[in-house]
Amino acid sequence: MEVGIPKETKDQEFRVGLSPNSARALCEAGHHVFVETGAGNGAGFTDEDYRQVGTQIVTQAAEAWNRELVVKVKEPLKSEYQFLEKGQILFTYLHLAANRFLTEHLIDCGASAIAYETVELPDHKLPLLTPMSIIAGRLSIQFGARFLERQQGGRGVLLGGVPGVRPGCVVILGGGVVGTEAAQIAVGMGARVQIIDINVERLTYLETLFGSRVELLYSNFAQIEAAVKDADLLVGAVLIPGYRAPILVPRSLVQQMRPGSVIVDVAVDQGGCVETLRTTSHSHPIYIEEDIVHYGVPNMPGAVPWTATQALNNSTLPYVLKLANQGMKALDSNPALAKGLNVQNYQLIHPAVQEVFPDLIS
């Protein structure tokens, strides 16, 4: 099969759909891979790296797009809609429930669109979302520690403290993938750490992981209120799949935090769980409101494209190979991949997206 790898066009998006190692696996399986020139530059992969593994470098976006299977990272932008066509398989993050315009266009163009974020295993795990949650969780502490620095607007707290001075306090709302990874890093830095989750089973699991090193609390407003007031760094990491994140921290509680404390709301892509949090970008990641530093970048892994591209590829490659080998027939023998199907043959397929746009069902 012919597989195309276009260069990402979204602002500050440096990841690429296939790393040279993944491209090599496809070439070795007998497929022809067409990579747009410079597609891997932002992630640290040169055209020469791709040439050496047997791919063809093409100079125009259309030459990468005009293939049976197109593998990307982010959803197509308006300037790319012209490249979508009937018979083509598009495999990428789509987040259609938040993008009616793109949903309509995908239905109209006749392509088959499979979304990374809805590929789902029988135990309901989302294998192509998890690697990005791991990265975002780890980054939340890295960024939080940086923005606690005085020069960045923070209150000048070193998370790990020093002998004789108390370490900083990290409060994490939601102990799923993001929250657990955030806690790992915060513990490693020597901070005091609390995780608040609503799922008792999850809290029990976290106890086996962290023992008494992390304080594990059940989520209700009294616990949240007491913890947040004392937080130097608050990390938002809750998720109710398919829904907007619940607002767990109202403005009145943000006003009670110590000036210069930092909020990193990783759940911003689902609306955020802190009332005062607005979406920010890698170019302008923070703003100060109620004397608190707010960080709300929805594509945090884009900050570490070398790591993120490889982590994403480790999970996507088995599915990419199946699609290249069998085309859409791959979905018949792979229920997890079939759950990823959002649009096919001029029809909206995914039930959750259908629920959001019932008028687009035909």
Ligand X SMILES: NC(=O)c1ccc[n+]([C@@H]2O[C@H](COP(=O)([O-])OP(=O)(O)OC[C@H]3O[C@@H](n4cnc5c(N)ncnc54)[C@H](O)[C@@H]3O)[C@@H](O)[C@H]2O)c1
284 is catalytic: no
Count of residues of this chain found to bind ligand X when the rule CB under 6 A is applied: 32
Catalytic residue among 95, 230, 282, 291: 95
Is the Cβ of residue 101 or residue 221 nearer to ligand X in the bound state? 221
269 is catalytic: yes
Contact 110, 87 (CB under 8 A): yes
- Residue 22 CA to chain centroid, in angstroms? 20
Name every residue whose Cβ is closer than 8 Å to that of residue 333 and which is 6 or more positions away in sequence. 326
Identified binder of ligand X from the candidate list 23, 173, 186, 331, rule CB under 6 A: 173
Identified binder of ligand X from the candidate list 4, 131, 154, 174, rule CB under 6 A: 174
Q: Which residue's Cβ has the minimum distance to ligand X?
A: 176
Identified binder of ligand X from the candidate list 6, 76, 144, 175, rule CB under 6 A: 175
Cβ at position 164, least distance to ligand X in Å: 34
Residues of this chain, 251-310, that bind ligand X according to CB under 6 A: 266-270, 298-301
Is the Cβ of residue 187 or residue 321 nearer to ligand X in the bound state? 187
Q: Which residue has the tokens 């992981």?
A: 209
Is the Cβ of residue 18 or residue 239 nearer to ligand X in the bound state? 239
Identified binder of ligand X from the candidate list 25, 237, 320, 348, rule CB under 6 A: 237
Is the Cβ of residue 109 or residue 267 nearer to ligand X in the bound state? 267
Cβ at position 311, least distance to ligand X in Å: 11
Q: Give the span between the Cα atoms of 252 and 224, in whole angstroms.
A: 13
Cβ at position 236, least distance to ligand X in Å: 8
Q: Identify which of 197, 266, 267, 257 has the alpha carbon closest to the alpha carbon of residue 231.
A: 257
How many CB atoms sit inside 10 A of residue 1's CB?
A: 17
Residues of this chain, 97-156, that bind ligand X according to CB under 6 A: 132-133, 136
Q: Give the span between the Cα atoms of 265 and 292, in whole angstroms.
A: 13
DSSP state of 347: E
Q: How far is CA 271 from CA 37, 262, 265, 275, 348, in A?
A: 35, 18, 9, 10, 24
Name every residue whose Cβ is closer than 8 Å to that of residue 55 and which is 6 or more positions away in sequence. 5, 20, 23, 27, 33, 34, 35
Identified binder of ligand X from the candidate list 38, 44, 153, 246, rule CB under 6 A: 246
Q: Is the dihedral of CA 93, 134, 311, 11 positive or negative?
A: positive
Residues recognised as catalytic: 95, 269
Provide the binding-site residues for ligand X, judged by CB under 6 A.
132-133, 136, 173-179, 196-199, 202, 219, 237-240, 245-246, 248, 266-270, 298-301
